[in-house]
């Protein structure tokens, strides 16, 4: 099957900090890919490269077979790329519902009514219906994270990039969001999910890659990834081979 997203020899560094060094990656249509890596490895920056808020030093990024390397972020969004942020960044002064409708502001061929219905459905899926009219700035962390999902879904993505969903949440709250991710998967949306909480990843994704030193040091089925020496080294502080 043709990949939905391909990185081809993508390189990016900040001075001496190497984020990506000739990085190749394919994400399959409908696939859920997990991404691990030590703090500061460049996982979040990679999302910036894919969504277009950060420019790579070299290499090509293809989405749905098209080279999007030179497209601005809004064009990439309109082609079906969306992300959530590690630290939620809602439009704080707007209501939860308004946050979702922003994406519809300039999408042609959608009546205001369709947009409202879509957004109401997404809010419902994300468990935010009763908070629809609250200012987004007043939400709890869990609801802010839900809003990150909801707002991304409102752009009608084909590929959803999730950055550290579990961070800062209790086990039970984390479970809620993992359930939500599983439901999103079922709708056919492809996912790349950065997460430090390995067991949450393992239970959800098809494959896990590990980013370190600008390259993927591991690319494994979820159940094998914990056995990988590099992962053991990074997460358990054990010496690698």
Partner 1 sequence: MIGTLNAMIQGLLLGGLYALFAAGLSLIFGVMRMVNIAHGDLIVASAYFAYFVMQMLGIGPFTSLLIVVPVVAAFGYALQRWLLNYTLGAGDLPPLLVTIALSIILQNVLLIVFTADVHRLQAGPIEIASWAFNSELSVGVLPVLQFVTSVIIIGALQLLFYKSSFGRAFRATSDDQQVAQLMGIETRHIFSLAMALSLAVVAVAGVFLAIRTNFNPFTGPLLLIFGFEAIVMGGLGSLWGTLVGGILLGIAQAIGGQIQVGLPFVAGHVAFLAVLYFLPQGLFPKVSQ
List residues near Mg ion by CB under 5 A.
Answer: 44, 86
By the 8 A CB rule, do 142 and 170 touch? no
Is 135 near partner 1 (CB under 8 A)?
A: yes
**Best CA proximity match to 51, nearest among 123, 155, 130:** 155
What residues contact 56, with CB distance under 8 A and at least 6 apart?
Answer: 10, 11, 12, 20, 49, 69
Q: State the binding partner of 6 from ligand ATP, partner 1, Mg ion, none, CB within 5 to 8 A by kind.
A: none
Burial degree of 10 (CB within 10 A; 0-12, 13-18, 19+)? buried
Q: With beta carbons less than 8 A apart as the criterion, state whether 49 and 81 touch.
A: no
To ligand ATP, the closest distance from the beta carbon of 54 in angstroms equals 8
**Residues 189, 101, 96, 117: what is their CA dihedral angle, to the nearest 10 degrees?**
-70
The residues facing 216 across adjacent strands are 211
Least Å distance between CB 165 and partner 1? 17
- Tell me the number of residues near ligand ATP by CB under 6 A: 12
Q: Give the other-Cβ count within 10 Å of 225's Cβ.
A: 24
Report if residue 237 touches partner 1, rule: CB under 8 A: no
Give the sign of the dihedral formed by CA 232, CA 234, CA 238, CA 241.
positive
Q: Which of 5, 31, 43, 174 binds ligand ATP (CB under 6 A)?
A: 43
State the binding string over 19-38 for ligand ATP (x if CB under 6 A, else -).
Answer: x-----------------x-
Q: Which does 42 bind (CB under 5 to 8 A by kind): ligand ATP, Mg ion, partner 1, none?
A: ligand ATP
Q: Give the contact letters, 59-88, x = binds to partner 1 (CB under 8 A), - = no.
A: -------------xxx--xx---xx-x---
Dihedral angle computed from the Cα positions of residues 230, 88, 61 and 27, in that order, rounded to the nearest 10 degrees: 60
Q: Please select the residue that binds ligand ATP; options are 14, 92, 107, 130, rule is CB under 6 A.
A: 14
Closest to ligand ATP by CB, 93 vs 237, is: 237
Nearer to partner 1 among residue 122 and residue 201 (C-beta)? 122
Provide the binding-site residues for partner 1, judged by CB under 8 A.
51, 53, 72-74, 77-78, 82-83, 85, 89, 91-94, 98-99, 101-107, 112, 115, 135, 137, 151, 154-155
Provide the binding-site residues for ligand ATP, judged by CB under 6 A.
14, 17, 19, 37, 39-45, 86
């Amino acid at each position: 099957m043709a990949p939905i997203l391909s990185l081809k020899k993508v390189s990016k560094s900040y001075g001496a900090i190497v984020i990506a060094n000739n990085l190749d990656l394919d994400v399959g249509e409908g696939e859920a890919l997990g991404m691990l890596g030590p703090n500061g490895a460049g996982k979040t920056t990679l999302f910036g490269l894919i969504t277009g808020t950060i420019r790579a030093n070299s290499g090509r990024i293809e989405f749905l077979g098209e080279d999007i390397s030179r497209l601005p972020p809004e064009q990439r969004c309109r082609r079906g790329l969306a992300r959530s942020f590690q630290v939620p960044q809602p439009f704080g002064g707007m209501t939860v519902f308004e946050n979702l409708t922003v994406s519809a502001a300039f999408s042609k061929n959608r009546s205001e009514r369709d947009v409202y219905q879509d957004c109401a459905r997404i809010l419902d899926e994300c468990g935010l219906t009763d908070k629809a009219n609250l200012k987004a700035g007043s939400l709890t962390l869990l609801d802010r994270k839900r809003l990150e999902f909801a707002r991304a879904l409102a752009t009608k993505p084909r590929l959803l990039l999730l950055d550290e969903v579990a961070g800062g949440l209790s086990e039970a709250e984390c479970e809620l969001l993992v359930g939500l991710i599983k439901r999103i998967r079922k709708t056919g949306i492809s996912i790349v999910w950065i997460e430090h909480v390995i067991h949450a990843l393992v239970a959800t994704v098809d494959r896990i890659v590990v980013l370190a030193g600008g390259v993927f040091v591991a690319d494994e089925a979820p159940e094998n990834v914990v056995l990988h020496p590099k992962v053991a080294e990074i997460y358990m502080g054990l010496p690698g081979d």
